[in-house]
Amino acid sequence: MDLFNGVISITGIGFLMFVVFIVTALGYLLGRITIKGVSLGTAGVFIVALLFGALVFTVDGTNLVTSVFGAENTPVAKSNFKIIENLGLIMFVTSVGFIAGPNFFSNLKKNFKSYAALSLIIIILGGLTTVFCIKVLGCGTEMAVGLLSGALTSTPAFSAAKDTINTLYEGNADKIQELEDIVTVGHGIAYLFGVVGVVLFVQIIPKILKANLDEERAKIASVDTGANKNEGKKLFNVDNFGLAAFAIAVVIGMFIGGIKIPMGKSSFSLGTTGGCLLASLVVAHFGHFGPINMKPEKKMLELFREFGLMAFLIGAGIPGGASFVNYFQAEYFLYGMLMTLVPMIVGFIIAKFVIKLPLFNNLGGITGGMTSTPALGTLINVAKTDDVASAYAAAYPIALIAVVLVSQFIIMFC
């Protein structure tokens, strides 16, 4: 990128960092705009990333090429943004696991059936809405499954759909590539509302219900977490902030996430997201390995959680924005909205009136059932307590497995 007739030149990794930080600054400014008490928050970064990708970048094979920064286009590999996305996701979910861990198992023991039921209701409703779009509205199967994975912001469902296509059309490379591209386009089209819709929902619902937030916080914090069983023990700190403990949990989580379980014609794995979440929950629950302290500093975890969410949204948003304008069709966007709204709204109503979960348990379960990482970050800010992360973490694994199975089922039978 050359500015002012070449007086300023930013290329290579420097240009990539320039993009990341300008999107960050503009995104947080957008996220601060509040209308009747509702704001985008960190999701503002995602909106700016999408716009930046749509207006500044064009897609050229494996590269994203700038189109407005002067005479010389600057190619940036898509893999660079994928690295940023994955690093952000790892930082976010691992931080969430460490923060939720001390409360998680007590909360799970008390409410497991409720969270499991809520997760399954959400995913089944999403699947039925997808089948409706295929059978009644005439949407193609591969496009519809891509829309479902985007509507639920579910990377595992997205990957599972492509894996199933590979299995069904093994040996027909051209057909596989064509159908995988359709799934990818559907995912990208629905992802925008999949993120923003749930982020706005968790802010609007407490206002519609005129909820007393102090009372709701007390309800979700009333789970018996027990006394810290490590108090009084002299533990060894590897470093002052707990970075080593954080890194160990990530390494363990990546090993767990890489385990593949055969399921019919395909296979299932927790992936990096599920593996790191599970590992950090367990490590945080026990708090130490022998004499080694495995509890990172709370302030560091909060910083990593926010930074990770920001990086994840930028890494996903810019490439998504570059492809979005090429493939966008209004009807597909509307189908994706249906796949987000129907399971979210109906799931919330059932959780409130049938399962009878308190508000923040309900919304935390909704963010987990919708596998919505950005919405959890917003809900923590709305609730002003990290305890909602326990509800997310309890609902998330059930939803993760269910959405993968539903996506595979639709690809194979619809």
Q: What is the pLDDT along the chain (414 residues), one digit of tens a residue?
A: 555 455 555 666 788 888 899 999 999 999 888 887 778 788 788 889 888 888 888 777 677 777 666 545 677 777 888 889 889 888 988 998 898 788 777 767 777 889 999 999 999 999 999 999 999 999 999 999 989 988 998 766 776 677 677 777 877 878 887 787 788 778 878 888 898 899 899 999 999 999 999 999 888 765 444 444 455 667 888 888 889 999 999 999 999 888 887 766 666 677 777 788 889 989 998 888 888 888 899 899 989 988 998 998 888 788 877 777 766 788 999 999 999 999 999 999 999 999 999 999 999 999 999 988 788 888 988 898 888 888 888 888 788 778 878 888 898 888
At 262 the pLDDT is 76
Query: How far apart are the C-alpha atoms of 323 and 113, rounded to whole Å?
Result: 40
pTM of the model: 0.75
Structure tokens at 29: 């400014």
Nearest CA to 110 among 330, 380, 355? Answer: 355
Query: How far apart are the C-alpha atoms of 45 and 352, rounded to whole Å?
Result: 31
Residue 298's CB: how many other CB atoms inside 10 A? Answer: 12
The residue written with tokens 């979440």 in the block is: 277
DSSP-H helix ranges across 258-329 = 271-286, 298-327
Backbone angles phi, psi at 268, to 5 degrees: -125, 140
- Contact of 51 with 35, CB cutoff 8 Å: no
Residue 258's CB: how many other CB atoms inside 10 A? Answer: 12
Structure tokens at 78: 């898509």
The residue written with tokens 């994706």 in the block is: 336
DSSP SS3 for 261: strand
Query: How far apart are the C-alpha atoms of 357 and 332, rounded to whole Å?
Result: 33
At 11 the pLDDT is 63
Residue 272 CB burial class (10 angstroms; 0-12, 13-18, ≥19): buried
- Contact of 45 with 28, CB cutoff 8 Å: yes
Structure tokens at 174: 């051209």
Structure tokens at 38: 């509702």
Nearest CA to 329 among 186, 202, 146, 226? Answer: 186
The one-letter amino acid code at 368 reads G
At 69 the pLDDT is 60
| Exposure string for 222-245, b = 16+ CB within 10 A, e = fewer | ebeeeeeeeeeeeeeeeeebbeeb
Nearest CA to 38 among 192, 150, 197? Answer: 197
Distance from the Cα of residue 5 to its chain's centroid: 41
Nearest CA to 81 among 16, 31, 145? Answer: 16
Per DSSP, what are the bridge partners of residue 64? 59, 76
At 225 the pLDDT is 41
- Contact of 81 with 65, CB cutoff 8 Å: no
Nearest CA to 195 among 316, 52, 349? Answer: 316
The DSSP string of 142-185 is: HHHHHHHHHHTT-HHHHHHHHHHHHHHTTT-HHHHHHHHHHHHH
Helix axes 271-286, 78-135, angle to 10 degrees: 100
The one-letter amino acid code at 312 reads F
At 338 the pLDDT is 96
